[in-house]
Structure 1
Amino acid sequence: MDLLLLSISLISLFSLLLAFNFLHQPRHKNLPPSPSFSLPLIGHLHLLRHPVHRTLHNLSEKLGPVLSLRFGSCLAVVVSSSSLVQECFTKNDIILANRPLVKSGKYLSYNYTNLVISPYGEHWRNLRRISTLEIFSISRLNLFVGGREDEVKRLLCKLWDGYSFEEFKVVEMFPMFMDLMFNILMRMMSGKKNCGDDLKDEERSKKFKEMVKQVLAIAGAGNPGDFIPLWNWIDPTCYNKRVKKLSKTSDELIQQLIDEIRNQNDGENTMIQHLLGLQNTQPENYSDQIIKGLIQVCFSFSNI
């Protein structure tokens, strides 16, 4: 009991110190207008309500097209004017190119090194060049048109065989389209059909789908620790533990796929085979970590 009281007292004292530091932190000059009421530790987070875009719209009507909010220890600027947004992404695009370095990006994006979250710089420009030329170019995508056509035919046959003889049937198409995109992507990357022709491939497909689903869920969900450092220290939801475990699972699955294709002596020229071929001549630009990060990005795009 004494230990519990001591722990509570220490946490309370630490929280008060953080709150004092928050209230007396140096103010930035020339910031856009901001709501006057800001709470210790959490700042303006208490103002956010679902749907968030309506909350921001209501604030912009009161404070103007550009306003500043403090999300815990992070400063955010909200721009709601279309002309100003255009200026942000044209004239000032490099200044605003970086994304916040959230905790999930550290573990799930190889310490902020994949294309989606990597800070703007030489590494990011190299990843963009690789993606543009070696993955998403018209010539590369045209190599896999046969696989895409085959997967669409498989989906149509599945719909015909499963539902054509029923007078009326409600069919949920969204998961079928998700499977279609996933199967196309897997065929482009590894040549595997993942459609039940091979039990090993089918099992791998299930693991990949579950992994991608979990990564997108945990990356898309808000983590209070990204805005409130004290939350990470306490970690009441075991977020850090979960994201580290998922990071290990994701890395092992993708690395197994790369190693399997690396050890193949023949086969079609898949995306991974192509990148591994470039690895032989440009190892510094096509390391396994870079290839794994590119695969992550492809999976993310397939679920947009």
Structure 2
Amino acid sequence: MESTLLYSVLLFAFFLVLSINLLLRTRKQRKNLPPSPLSLPIIGHFHLLKQPIHRTLEALSQKYGPVFSLKFGSRLAIIVSSPSGVEECLVKKDIVFANRPHVLSGRILNYNNTTMGTADYGDHWRNLRRISAIEIFSSTRLNAFLGMRKDEVKLLLSRLYRVSIHGFAKVELRPLLFDLTSNIMMKMIAGKRYYGEGVHEVDKAREFREMMEEFIHYFGAATAGDFLPFLQWFDLNGYVNKMDRLSKRMDVFLQGLIDEHRVDRNRNTMISHFLTLQESQPEYYTDEIIKGHVLCFEWKRVSEKEIDMAEFTTITICKAEPLVVMCKGRPILDIVLSRA
């Protein structure tokens, strides 16, 4: 009985101190914040988020104006719905709003927020951006990969030709174009083909695709601990444990790619150029920086379902994306592809 009473008193004291702390922080910030609805202790405005989200935010903007604030646990969000306000935030004051809040997925899956997509705006982020512009997307580098892109396009044309060899055939382009762009990116990064037909390392390719699917899923997921830090100790939905396991798997896989390039330094890939930079600045261009840069690319498998513009319960409205065509190869293709 006494122990139960003691635990109850301690729990009450904990939430009381937490509520007072949040209240004091709110009062300190209230002078400079946009208007805001009445919030609840600890959870803030979570109780206002009803589906569909964009309708809820539109209703709040009608009541509180084009710029208003919401509190989600310990996170403060400013909602801007006017064109002039968006221009002020993203054009005139873009550096002020350049950083993203640090969340658990960034710490666990993105090498403690050191990748270009999660790093704070500063010298490190600018250096990563410079490397991307020079070593990956510069005209010189893109021209160096011209032959590789031609090979991938020829493989795509051959695939379309085989499908339509007996006449017109219905072909969905989205997965084919996804395989094309993914293989081009992967060959630029590591000299590998992991998507579509003609994959040599089948097991590694399957493992890579599965890991990237899982990575995208958890990278965009929010945990309770992201909004209420004291809940990080409990891992209520098991996300932290799953992200830890995924992080270890990805680290081993990406480290294997780097080690392969250390053995064969004649490859014209992004990883090989990073290893060259590592020789001159080993304290900065660590293996973690290289592996994190690979994760900056979008690897999500596109859905093969057709969707429309109807309202859903998500925060955005889907785009119409029916990419299905009737395909039939011309006779000249038989000659061209036989010579390729």
Q: TM-score surpassing 0.5? A: yes
The match for 1:88 is 89
1 CA distance for matches of 2:153 and 2:181?
10
Summarize the Cα distance change of 1:265–1:289 in structure 2 as closer, same or farther, 3 Å threshold: closer
Residues 22, 41 of structure 1: 8 Å contact kept: yes
- What's the counterpart of residue 150 of structure 2? 149
Q: Over residues 99-143 of structure 1, what are the superposed CA-to-partner deviations in whole Å (9 max), with x where a residue is unaligned? A: 100110001111111111101111111111111111221221221
Tell me which residue corresponds to 1:286.
285
Cα deviation for residue 39 of structure 1 reads: 2.1
* Aligned equivalent of 2:321: none
Give, as a single letter, the amino acid of the residue that structure 1 aligns with 2:227.
F
State the Cα distance separating 1:12 from its structure 2 match. Answer: 6.7
Distance in 1, Cα, partners of 2:285 & 2:70: 40
> Counterpart in 2 of 1:124?
125
Contact 2:153 2:180 in 1 (8 A): yes
| Residue of structure 2 in register with 1:253 after alignment | 253
SS of 1:181's partner is helix
- What CA deviation, in whole Å up to 9, does each residue of 1:4-46 have, x standing for no partner? 999898667644553454345442112100112x222211122
User: What's the TM-score once normalised by structure 2's chain length?
Assistant: 0.78
How far is the alpha carbon of 1:292 from its aligned partner? 1.1
- Pairwise mapping of residues 36-75 of structure 1 onto structure 2 (< 5 A)? 36=38, 38-75=39-76
Amino acid at match of 1:76: A
For residue 278 of structure 1, report the CA deviation from its aligned partner. Answer: 2.2
**Cα displacement (A) at 1:70:** 0.1
Note the C-alpha offset of 1:148.
Answer: 1.9
Gaps of 5+ in 1: none
How many angstroms does 1:58 deviate by?
2.1
Structure 2 counterpart of 1:30, from 15, 29, 32: 32
CA distance in 2, matches of 1:4, 1:209: 51
Unaligned runs of 5+ in 2: 303-340
Distance of 1:95 and 1:166 partners within structure 2: 58
Report the Cα distance in structure 2 between the residues aligned to 1:64 and 1:216, rounded to whole angstroms: 34
Which stretch of structure 1 is more off in the superposition, 97-106 or 272-281?
A: 272-281
Q: Decide whether aligned partners of structure 1 residues 46 and 159 sit closer, same or farther in structure 2, where only a CA change above 3 A counts.
A: farther
Displacement of 1:166 in angstroms is 6.6
Separation in structure 2 between the aligned mates of residue 284 and residue 144 of structure 1, nearest angstrom: 29
Alignment check: 8 A CA contact 2:218 2:243 kept = yes
Q: What one-letter code is carried by the residue in structure 2 that aligns with 1:34?
A: S
Report the Cα distance in structure 2 between the residues aligned to 1:245 and 1:11, rounded to whole angstroms: 32
AA paired with 2:86? Answer: V
1: CA distance, partners of 2:253 / 2:232: 27
**Pairing 1:160–2:179 present:** no
Aligned to 2:275: 276
Q: What do residues 41-84 of structure 1 show as CA deviations (whole Å, max 9, x unaligned)? A: 21112222344333222211211111010011111111111122
Query: In the superposition, relative to structure 1, how do residues 152 and 75 fare at CA in structure 2: closer, same or farther (>3 Å)?
Result: same
TM-score computed with the length of structure 1 as normaliser? 0.87
Aligned to 2:193: 193
> Structure 1 stretch 277-286 or stretch 40-49: which is displaced more?
277-286
Moved more, 229-238 or 243-252: 229-238
Q: Distance in 2 between matches of 1:46 and 1:175?
A: 39
Give distance in 2, aligned partners of 1:226 and 1:24.
20
Report the Cα offset of residue 156 of structure 1. Answer: 2.8
Which structure is higher in RCO with an 8 Å CA cutoff and minimum separation 6?
A: 2
Whether 2:229 is the aligned partner of 1:229: answer yes
Displacement of 1:210: 1.1
Is the CA contact 1:186–1:192 (under 8 Å) kept in the aligned structure 2?
yes
**CA deviation vs aligned residue, 1:209-241 (integer Å, no higher than 9, x gap):** 111111111111222211112332222111111
- Number of equivalenced pairs: 298
Q: Secondary structure at the match of 1:104?
A: helix
Question: 1:175 & 1:233 partners in 2: Cα distance?
Answer: 41
Q: Percent identity?
A: 48
